Structures are given as C-alpha cells and as structure tokens.
A and B are shown apart, each in its own frame.
Chain A
Amino acid sequence: MYLKKEHLYKRDEPYVLKPGPEGYVPPAAASMGIELPDPGEGLIYGRKTNEDAVMEEIAKQMLTGKNPTLFPGPLVLWNWNEHARIKGHAVLEIANEIPGVMIIPMPDYRPKYPKIEPEEEINPNHPNLTIWHNKIEVCIFVGVHCHYANLTLKMIRAGTNCLTVAVCAEQGHEDAMLTVRDSDDSKLRRLAQVIRKVRESMGIPAPTRPPYGGGKREIVTPGEWAQIRAKGLAMSMAGAPKGIPLREGEMPRV
C-alpha cells in the first residue's frame, strides 16, 4: 500500500476509505493506491478481503444503518437480455430481506431537465441530493455502469455521510466502502441469503411491507409487490404496463 505525495498523506499510512463527508475534493481511491479486488475477493474500506466477509459486512450495515436503500441501475432495470431480467429479480430478493429498505432507481445517466426529482430518482450528476433528501446512511448500487457508478460513489463520499456498497458485475469499485465483483444473478441471490442469515442471527424480523420508493412514498401495494416479485423487476419499454403513456425516456415506475 502506498500513498502519493501530492496528496500530502504519509507514504506509509494506507488510505482507508471511510464514509464521508470527506471534503472539498477528495482523491479517487485508485489514485491513493487502492486496487480492485481479485476474483473471490471484495473490498472492505479499501482492503482486499474474502468475499464472504464482505457480504456479511454488507448485510450488517444494510440491516443496522439508517434508511438503507437500493439503487438499481440500467443494467438491472432495462431488459437488455435475459440475464438482466433475472438479475432484476435477484435484486428484489435482496430488497425482500431488508426491513424498511428503499428502492430508488437510476434508470439513466442523462442530466435531468426541466426539473430534478432527487427524492424519487437518483442521477449520477447530482446523487448527493438524493442521499440528503432521504437521509440515506447506507446504500447498495447494483446494475450501474462502472463509470457512472464511480462518479456517483466519489460524489457521495465527498459530500455525505452515507456508507456506499457497490455490487458490481465486473471488477468492483474502489470508491465504494464495500464492494464485491463478478456479481451475476447467483451471486446476488447469495448476498440475499447472507443478509437473511445475518438478519436472523441478529434477531431482526423479516420485512412485513414492500420497499418504499424514494421520498418515503409508498410506490407499490403489497399485491403489486407480490406480482412484481413473481415477474422480476427488469422490464423493457415494450414490456411497460399498457395504458400508461411514458414520457420520452421515462422509466416505467415499479
């Protein structure tokens, strides 16, 4: 582990990635010497750690942190392929193990005109607003393209006290406090099971209500929730519920 002198950190002190707010322009974790995990590993606060231990830490944080939130991105919201649809379903299994969890989508990466609705939708151009509005202190990003996830994670660490988790389908994210890599649908399901196990060991009862949408509004009825769970979250524009005209580029609400 090393540090670069231009950031005025001591060379022999490894950089630890903690929840922020870290400051005006905190460095990217990668330029502080934090490397992405190898297969089978994850990162806990910047340190390479066995994946199971990372999953347990994710579970603990999501079960005990304030306003835990899932931020699903386009790769699990959009029906790119069959695997995306299955993964969307697996994300819901994770949500189903966390009492009081919110699901706030990041359906696309476009700057929002003419009005930002940060409570209901997170956007990589101003993700901190969503965190602030909803007082989110722990969150999981899943299905967000790596570049946009990294922008978002950096911005959240700079300006909020939120603990970030990145469940990544590729190589993981140094800028998240907790991350696992190569997350296909089976790994997402494994995470759901780890969360259930930890939840039970902590004596926390299973959720009795469906997840909230952003802004604390109830976005689905329990009946709809059951139906959505049966079908999976991922849907294409073509698969959007009929009779609801979508604005151009708008994500169908779940």
Chain B
Amino acid sequence: MSESESEQKTNPQGDPITSSAVKVEAGKDPHGEAKKQRVVTPEHLFFEAPRERVFITGSEAGKEAIRRANVDFSVAYPITPQSETMQLIGVLYGEGYVKEYYRGEEEYGVMSAIAGASRAGVRCFTATAGPGTLRGIEAIASWPGHRLPAVIIFTCRVVNAPLAIQPDNIEISYLLNTGMILFHAENQQDVFDFILKSFVISEMNDVTLPVGIAYDGFFVTHARGYVMMPPKDIKLPPREAYHGAVPVLDAENPPARLSRDAPVQKSNFMSYNIHAVWQQEVWAAQERAKKYIRRYMDGLLEVNNPDADIFFIASGSAAAQSREAMRLLEEQGIHTGLIKIRSLRPFPTLELQDACRRAKLIVIPEFNYPGWLAKEVSTALYGECTAHMIAGPRVFGGMTMPVELIVERVIGGLRQVDPTRVPVGASVGAEASTEAAKAVSKEDVNRFMQNI
C-alpha cells in the first residue's frame, strides 16, 4: 500500500470519500475553477450540454448538482442519521461554488435560516434526514405559505424509535401536506437531475414554492450508481428575486416587513377569508408547477409498458425494486408495467387515472409501515379504475425489500391468495404451529423460495 492511499478517508461503507478538503497549491486561487463557471440556460444544462458517465454515490450526485446550481446560501446540520451531502456542500463552499455556508445550531435553526435567506432573495439549499426532518418541520411547513423558493433534500432514514439508519421513507408522509413541492428520486441519476431542475421550478414566478427531494437513505445516498452529468464549468442562471410572487424582504421598508408589521391572523384587520385564500393560493401554485414538471422532468410520473394490465405503482427505491420484479415476471411470461411516481406533490391524479384506466391488478410496494403511497393512489383512483389493488408489499424499519416479495404479491394477486402467509421458517424446516400456517401447502413454500 502506498502512503497516500492509507491517508484516504472512507465513509461507513468503506467507500473512499472523494470530498476531503481541497489541497490548495500555494499562489493558486482556491476559487479559481468556480470563477471560471459560466451561466447557461436551464435548457442547455438539462438537455443540450454533453454528458459524461460517472459512478458515484447519491450524496456525491447531490454535491455535483449543487456545484452547477449557482447556490448562494446553504446551512448544514450534520448528525446521524444524515447523509454526506451537507459535508460535501462544505467542500463546494471551500472551492467557491457556494457563496455562503455555515453549520446551524440544529434543524429548527437551519430551516429558519433558510426561510430568512430565501425571503431576502437568494438561492438556498439544505438537507436533512430522519428525525431531523421532524425537528425542522415547523419551519419547513412555514416556507410554502411565505412563498419561499428553496430546495431541500430528505434522505429518508426512519423517524420512529427504535431508530434505524437504513431506508424507511415514513418521513415523506409528514411532508406530503406541508404545501411544498415534493419529488421522490429513485436513484443517483434522479438525485442529480431532480435537484438541478427543482431550483428552476421552485423559482418560477407562478410557482414560488420550496421543493423537497426525498430519496431513500443508505441504498441511494451511500450506494453508488451511474450518473450522466454535464461538465462542471457551466451553471444555472442566478435567482431573480425581483420576479418573485412576493417582494423580497426588507426588514425596514414596506411593502412587506414581516417582523415589524402586524401578523396576518384572525382579527378585525383581516378578512375572514384571508387564511383560506392564502392556503388555496399555495395549492394553486402546486397546480401551476405541473407545467414545469412536465417541461423539465418529463412528467409527474413515468409509465413503463403502458399496454400492461398488471401495474406496479411505486416511487423511490421501490420503483427500482419493481423494475427488477418486472424482469423476473417477464421471464415467467407475466407481462407487467411500472408507474413510477416522480412528483408526490403535486400528485399526478389525472395522469394516474389515465394510465390505470385498463388495469386489472395494481401492486403498490412501499418502504414504510403506514403505506402513504397506497393511500394517495387509492384516493386518486377511487371511482376511476376497477383494478384489484394490493397495498403492498411493505417493508419498514430499515429492512430491504426482496424483489421476490414483490413477485409473490403479483402472483398472489392473480391467484387470489395472500403469499405473505407463507412462513419463512418453513423454508428452514420449522414446524408450522398454527392452523393458518399448516394450511399453507408445501407447494406454496417451495414456490416462495423457488429459483426465479
């Protein structure tokens, strides 16, 4: 082993950390590369610039997106469970790609600082995970109402006790109704693309809302995948705060001096309707965002095999697992399709209704206990689709979701039996003790364990 190698730091998975602070050569401007960046149109950055394939972690994909995002301000609060992302943004700050960066006192402070900075008119970014999401959620939930453009990533890593650090995206269910736009990235490529595109969508005048990008911790943040990315010498145009839906904050001068004026709250100085129309306006802005999501992100959802009559409806890692389940089922002669939900808010109600019009069986795999996606899908499809709907399989608490489990749900759905009643112990010789377990045939067990 060479000496330089033994100095290299690694992440908890043993991967080398490519983020260690840049060594600055004497007399060389540490911000030199960043200063050479030139502003290009979003369309050029997203669709026209040549891209190269790299093999990086989800956190590194986040870093590379921010490098090209012309971010003014970022606050970090790193604590387990988190991801490396904010640490990597610190490196970008050292290199001059991010103009201002500091470590907050905790998530409440971080999210409040983002609110202030965004209201002051600059482009903001932060990231949180797991319990930190809930600690910051009071401030986060205030962003949409204040019409604050900002981008935040949530690397989902369970909020319940006992704490797990592997993926469980229960925290998304807490974010669905804050009024913020919410995307769910499937893999490292999505992370890179969604972050960059989110800034543009977030700052559209008729949107002017924060965007959250959720992705599943560990499996996406800490694992590597292929990412096609444009060169690092180009970046997005800066935020144009003058064209926001609300004026930027000047603490001393009207037209809006948040902290010095009377709050908008129920009183004789307010119309009875004010809060109602305010909330309506937030959700109307969500509707308006759909146009830009279609333009930049190729739609709120992605339909694979639209001719199928068996569909997986999934988001995030569950979509990746479903792709593999499609392959395995295809090998068995069962044709399935996948509807990947990219945008959870706004939710693609109409697109989903159209995609599922002919569906006979719908399987909704999820990485959380309560099954928030199944509830969303049911609400959207109620009265619009006659498919048999299976709200599962679900894994939680940081478990992985075996593709075999998804496959079994499909086959179970076709045979009208619940395959999860196959006791896994049966595969290793445990005696069935209950009547229900005894009722499971050896054939079922074998099939569950079969070599697919």
A residues near B, CB below 8 A?
2, 4-5, 25, 27-31, 35-36, 74, 78, 80, 107-113, 116, 125-129, 145-148, 150-151, 154-155, 158-159, 170-171, 174-175, 237, 249
- Minimum distance in angstroms from A101 CB to a CB of chain B: 23
Interface of A is mostly: loop
Count of interface residues, chain B, beta-carbon cutoff 8 Å: 39
Q: List 29 A-B contacts (CB under 8 A).
A: A27-B280, A28-B280, A28-B284, A30-B284, A31-B283, A35-B288, A74-B247, A78-B255, A109-B256, A110-B255, A110-B256, A111-B261, A111-B263, A113-B269, A125-B274, A126-B271, A145-B255, A146-B206, A147-B147, A147-B245, A147-B281, A151-B277, A151-B281, A154-B273, A154-B281, A155-B271, A170-B205, A171-B288, A249-B257
Answer yes or no: B270 CB below 8 A from chain A CBs.
yes
Q: Chain A contacts of B278 at CB under 8 A?
A: 151
- Minimum distance in angstroms from B280 CB to a CB of chain A: 4
Q: Which of B237-286 contact A (CB under 8 A)?
A: 242-247, 253-257, 261-264, 267, 269-271, 273-274, 276-278, 280-281, 283-285
Q: Chain A contacts of B255 at CB under 8 A?
A: 74, 78, 107-110, 145
Q: Chain A contacts of B70 at CB under 8 A?
A: none
Contact of B277 among A30, A113, A145, A158 (CB under 8 A): A158
Q: Chain A contacts of B263 at CB under 8 A?
A: 111
- Are B383 and A5 within 8 A (Cβ)? yes
**Chain B minimum-CB-distance residue to A84:** B242
Answer yes or no: B189 CB below 8 A from chain A CBs.
no
Q: Chain A contacts of B276 at CB under 8 A?
A: 25
Instruction: Using known A-B contacts A125-B264, A147-B245, determine if residue A110 contacts B257 with beta carbons closer than 8 Å.
Output: yes
- Minimum distance in angstroms from B345 CB to a CB of chain A: 13
- Minimum distance in angstroms from B383 CB to a CB of chain A: 7
Answer yes or no: B437 CB below 8 A from chain A CBs.
no
Instruction: Using known A-B contacts A146-B205, A146-B245, A147-B208, determine if residue A174 contacts B284 with beta carbons closer than 8 Å.
Output: yes
A107 to B255 CA separation, bound complex (whole angstroms): 7
Number of A-B contacts (CB under 8 A): 118
Answer yes or no: B291 CB below 8 A from chain A CBs.
yes
Interface of B is mostly: loop
- Are B288 and A30 within 8 A (Cβ)? yes
- Are A30 and B247 within 8 A (Cβ)? no
Q: Chain B contacts of A28 at CB under 8 A?
A: 277, 280-281, 283-284, 287
Going nearest first, the 4 A-B pairs with the smallest beta carbon separation are A30-B284, A108-B255, A108-B254, A28-B284
- Are A111 and B269 within 8 A (Cβ)? yes
Instruction: Using known A-B contacts A146-B245, A148-B246, A170-B206, determine if residue A125 contacts B277 with beta carbons closer than 8 Å.
Output: no
Answer yes or no: B350 CB below 8 A from chain A CBs.
yes
Q: Chain A contacts of B243 at CB under 8 A?
A: 170
A148 to B147 CA separation, bound complex (whole angstroms): 11
Q: Chain B contacts of A113 at CB under 8 A?
A: 262, 269
- Are A155 and B277 within 8 A (Cβ)? yes
- Are B284 and A127 within 8 A (Cβ)? no
- Are A125 and B269 within 8 A (Cβ)? yes
Most A Cβ at <10 Å: residue of B205, B243, B287: B287
- Are A125 and B271 within 8 A (Cβ)? yes
**Chain A minimum-CB-distance residue to B258:** A110
Most A Cβ at <10 Å: residue of B247, B257, B283, B291: B247
A232 to B245 CA separation, bound complex (whole angstroms): 25
Q: Chain B contacts of A129 at CB under 8 A?
A: 271
Contact of B256 among A108, A126, A150, A171 (CB under 8 A): A108
Q: Chain B contacts of A36 at CB under 8 A?
A: 206, 288, 291
Instruction: Using known A-B contacts A35-B291, A74-B247, determine if residue A171 contacts B205 with beta carbons closer than 8 Å.
Output: yes
Q: Chain B contacts of A237 at CB under 8 A?
A: 253
A174 to B350 CA separation, bound complex (whole angstroms): 20
**Chain B minimum-CB-distance residue to A35:** B291
A171 to B273 CA separation, bound complex (whole angstroms): 25
Q: Which of B331-362 contact A (CB under 8 A)?
A: 349-350
A131 to B244 CA separation, bound complex (whole angstroms): 27
- Are A110 and B245 within 8 A (Cβ)? no
Beyond A107-B254, A154-B281, 14 extra complex contacts between A and B, CB < 8 Å:
A2-B350, A28-B283, A30-B284, A107-B255, A109-B255, A110-B254, A110-B262, A125-B270, A145-B244, A154-B273, A154-B277, A171-B205, A171-B206, A249-B253
